[in-house]
Structure 1
Amino acid sequence: MPTYTPTTPDGLVELCLSHVAARDGRVVVVIDGAAAARPDDLADRLAARLRVVGRAAAVVRMADYLRAASLRFEYGHTDPESFRSTWFDYPALDREVVSALRVAGRWLPRLWDAEQDRSFRDRRQDAASDQVLILAGPMLVGRDLDVDLAIRLRMSGATLRRISSPDAQWTVEPILRYAEASGDADIEVRYDHPDRPAVAVDHPRTTRHRDRMS
């Protein structure tokens, strides 16, 4: 069992910052968390701190990498297996963001506008030599993405059920099952109380690694 150490919201940001800053060149970070955990907020705070210390940083949100409605809702609007495997376009995230950054030095900020159910038609962005891309959203650990640092915001089932919106209650079980199946992240965060997080840090990795789900 990992050993968790209490910290503060600012302390969590600084911890993540220290792990990213220790890596040179272009870096890909994932912040994995249910919508109720607001992983985008931590991603935005981390990106802001990186810019303060002179590092190019941008956030890519999984809400902008959804699949078309015809694919998401093929088996209904609340199918748990579809949510785990079909809702989010992880292959496109790899192709248009992670691999594109590694190979071409460019990335696509957004892919699919779920409200309009059409492409955003964004232009690819050129990456700085020290670019950090922070991918934020649910079920990102274990997606075979070539990431440098994986951070997961873990919430218990009771907390997720309490704070998730009524129309998102059906997503709680697939998120919990996926988290159990996908193994640990580099930084695991107990996040039932976001104002009082606790962290467990794996041995730092100094080279890139493939993030694989067992």
Structure 2
Amino acid sequence: MRDRATAASLVARDDPGAGTAVRVGVDAAVPADGLLVADAVADALAAEGVGVLRVRAEDFLRPRSVRLSRGPADPDAGYEAWTDHLALRREVLDPLGPGGSGRWLPTLWDPGRDRATRAPREVAAPGSVLVLDGPFLLRWETADAIDLGVHLDVSAAAVRRRLQGDDADRVVGAWARYLAETDPAPRADLVVRAEDPRRPALLTGDAPSAWA
């Protein structure tokens, strides 16, 4: 789609500088939304002949005992303990950035089996583009390790339409805290309204947030 192609075009023109790869983060409350947009950006880049490295934050979750220590619906656990953002930085973002080794880890944790994936490290070719999707990517742990941030703006009502039960309660509360504490939209390079992720709309700087 046009807005995703815009993001891909910006990335393709970017300069990774001293880093191995341009690091793109798609910051999304709903995992399926981040998957849809990030995959579209990755496909558009690949079509332009760019080497793409694809990573999902869902493959860097913490163990089930940590995630669920306060129950599956707890928003503070969703914000603080669900995704291992420091591992994402250590194993993916920093190795691909300036001064990094270029050796990165595509996955860390298998949530289905609740154990480490033991995936081998891969070596990125210079000039690659990392496309990472996940929640809270513009928070302090990872914000300065992302070269181009795409923030998906979505309302609480839209989150509840796409998630159910404990997942909806956890994500709505955690995302509200993220917005209040971090204010990610001004930090992003692109803000995309994702009430319907199949029809994203690129927002201008003065457009209001959909969150309510």
TM class, shorter-length: 0.7 to 0.9
Q: Structure 1 residue 17 and structure 2 residue 8: aligned?
A: yes
Q: Structure 1 residue 70 and structure 2 residue 65: aligned?
A: yes
Q: Deviations along 1:151-194, whole A, 9 cap, x unmatched?
A: 01111112112222234121212112213432222111111123
| Alignment counterpart, residue 108 of structure 1, candidates 105, 109, 112 | 105
Q: 138-147 vs 62-71, which deviates more?
A: 138-147
Q: CA deviation at 1:96?
A: 0.1
Letter of the structure 2 residue corresponding to residue 128 of structure 1 = A
- % identical aligned pairs: 37
SS at match of 1:104: coil
Q: Deviations along 1:125-176, whole A, 9 cap, x unmatched?
A: 1101111111101121123321110001111112112222234121212112
TM-score by length of 1: 0.84
Richer in strand (by share) = 1
Partner of 2:34 in structure 1?
39
**In structure 1, distance between residues paired with 2:106 and 2:45:** 18
Map 1:176-187 → 2, pairs under 5 A: 176-183=176-183, 184=185, 185-187=188-190
**In structure 2, distance between residues paired with 1:200 and 1:35:** 19
Q: Deviations along 1:40-89, whole A, 9 cap, x unmatched?
A: 12111111111111111021101100001121122222221111011100
**In structure 2, distance between residues paired with 1:72 and 1:179:** 21
Q: CA deviation at 1:35?
A: 2.1
**In structure 2, distance between residues paired with 1:34 and 1:27:** 23
SS at match of 2:141: strand
| Alignment counterpart, residue 52 of structure 2, candidates 54, 57, 73 | 57
Taking a change above 3 Å as real, the CA distance of residues 201 and 37 of structure 1, as seen in their structure-2 partners, is farther
RMSD: 1.6
**In structure 1, distance between residues paired with 2:181 and 2:79:** 12
Q: CA deviation at 1:37?
A: 5.2
| Alignment counterpart, residue 197 of structure 1, candidates 200, 203, 206 | 200
How many residue pairs are counted as aligned between the two chains? Answer: 193
CA contact 2:30–2:159 (8 Å) conserved in 1? no
TM-score by length of 2: 0.85
Once superposed, which parts of structure 1, at least 4 consecutive aligned residues long, lie more than 6 Å away? Answer: none
Partner of 1:209 in structure 2?
none
CA contact 1:152–1:187 (8 Å) conserved in 2? yes
**In structure 2, distance between residues paired with 1:92 and 1:70:** 17
Map 1:62-141 → 2, pairs under 5 A: 62-102=57-97, 103-141=100-138
Q: What 5-or-longer segments of structure 1 have no aligned partner?
A: 1-9, 203-214
Letter of the structure 2 residue corresponding to residue 187 of structure 1 = L
Q: CA deviation at 1:14?
A: 1.0
